[in-house]
């Protein structure tokens, strides 16, 4: 289903892409498996209290993060691209509210537009749908996560953050069953703990961490050279501790 572009959304998207160019990230980077040997993408879901959690998680990523990040946040139907605009000011990655059939590029964050489900197609594009609400929501987290598991199998990392319903738990189950990796925000740190708690109780979460720590783990998983560099720095610092001053 082709989404009818509004002037506000089109303007926001154009501004976002110009911002990406000004950061030196305007070059198109189609996503290929060699971007990261283990993972192809990160999918993130949030609801009540989700903006702060999403911003904290993705704010921990470096500007050269090699994977695409697809985000579903439960939005009011009148959002008009404001979530994407605000997130773009809060994180290092360029943020795009996509159109239907838009190719997925590495190093960008894609946010589902209000009142549209966002899905991943096997050809590496985004599909937008006005199918029925799932978990009383459109966009729905389960819809994104399940489509990502079908498209990328075990090369997906799924993250459920703060929210007030159970959306995301079944999508996490699909990602985990396909061989992917799953994270939930520690409910004690979430503004609305219901959503991460539901995923944890369903037994579909690999790691439970605070939002910023999830972001750091994403860097470790997607950028093994950064992890190796950190180990080298820690080893050097430890060695230096025994050197007389």
Hey, where are the domains in the chain? 7-241
* 142 catalytically annotated: no
* 22 catalytically annotated: no
Among 74, 79, 142, 147, the one annotated catalytic: 74
Cα 32 from chain centre: 17
Q: Which helix (H) or strand (E) is 134 found in, with range?
A: none
Architecture of domain 7-241: 3-Layer(aba) Sandwich (3.40)
- Give Dmax over CA atoms of the chain in angstroms: 68
The pLDDT profile of the chain, 245 residues, written as one tens digit per residue, is 434 333 234 334 433 433 343 334 444 555 543 445 689 999 999 999 889 999 999 999 999 999 999 999 999 888 999 999 999 999 999 999 999 999 999 999 999 999 999 999 999 999 999 999 998 999 999 999 999 999 999 999 999 999 999 999 999 999 999 999 999 999 999 999 999 999 999 999 999 999 999 999 999 999 986 554 554 455 545 555 554 54
Do 31 and 106 contact (CB within 8 A), yes or no?
Answer: yes
* 21 catalytically annotated: no
- Whole-model pTM? 0.81
Cβ-based burial of 102 (10 A; exposed 0-12, middle 13-18, buried ≥19): middle
Among 12, 147, 167, 192, the one annotated catalytic: 167
Among 12, 47, 79, 162, the one annotated catalytic: 47
Pairing of strands 109-111, 95-96: parallel
């Amino acid at each position: 289903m082709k989404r009818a572009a509004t002037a506000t959304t089109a303007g926001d998207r154009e501004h976002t892409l110009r911002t990406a160019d000004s950061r030196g990230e305007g070059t198109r980077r189609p996503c290929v498996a060699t971007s990261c040997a283990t993972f192809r993408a990160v999918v993130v879901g949030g609801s009540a209290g989700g903006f702060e959690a999403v911003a904290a998680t993705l704010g921990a990523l470096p500007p050269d993060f090699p994977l695409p990040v697809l985000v579903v946040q439960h939005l009011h139907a009148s959002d008009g691209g404001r979530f994407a605009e605000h997130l773009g000011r809060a994180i290092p990655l360029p943020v795009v509210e996509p159109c239907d059939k838009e190719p997925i590029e590495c190093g960008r964050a894609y946010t589902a537009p209000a009142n549209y489900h966002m899905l991943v197609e096997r050809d590496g594009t985004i599909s937008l749908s006005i199918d029925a609400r799932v978990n009383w929501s459109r966009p729905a987290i389960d819809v994104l996560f399940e489509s990502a598991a079908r498209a990328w199998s075990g090369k997906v990392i799924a993250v459920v953050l703060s929210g007030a319903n159970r959306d995301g738990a079944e999508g996490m189950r699909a990602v985990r069953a396909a061989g992917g990796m799953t994270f939930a925000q520690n409910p004690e740190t979430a503004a609305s703990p219901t959503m991460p708690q539901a995923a944890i109780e369903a037994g579909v979460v690999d790691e439970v961490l605070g939002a910023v720590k999830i972001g750091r783990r994403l860097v470790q998983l997607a950028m093994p050279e950064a992890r190796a560099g950190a180990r080298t720095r820690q080893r050097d610092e430890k060695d230096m501790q025994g050197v007389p001053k």
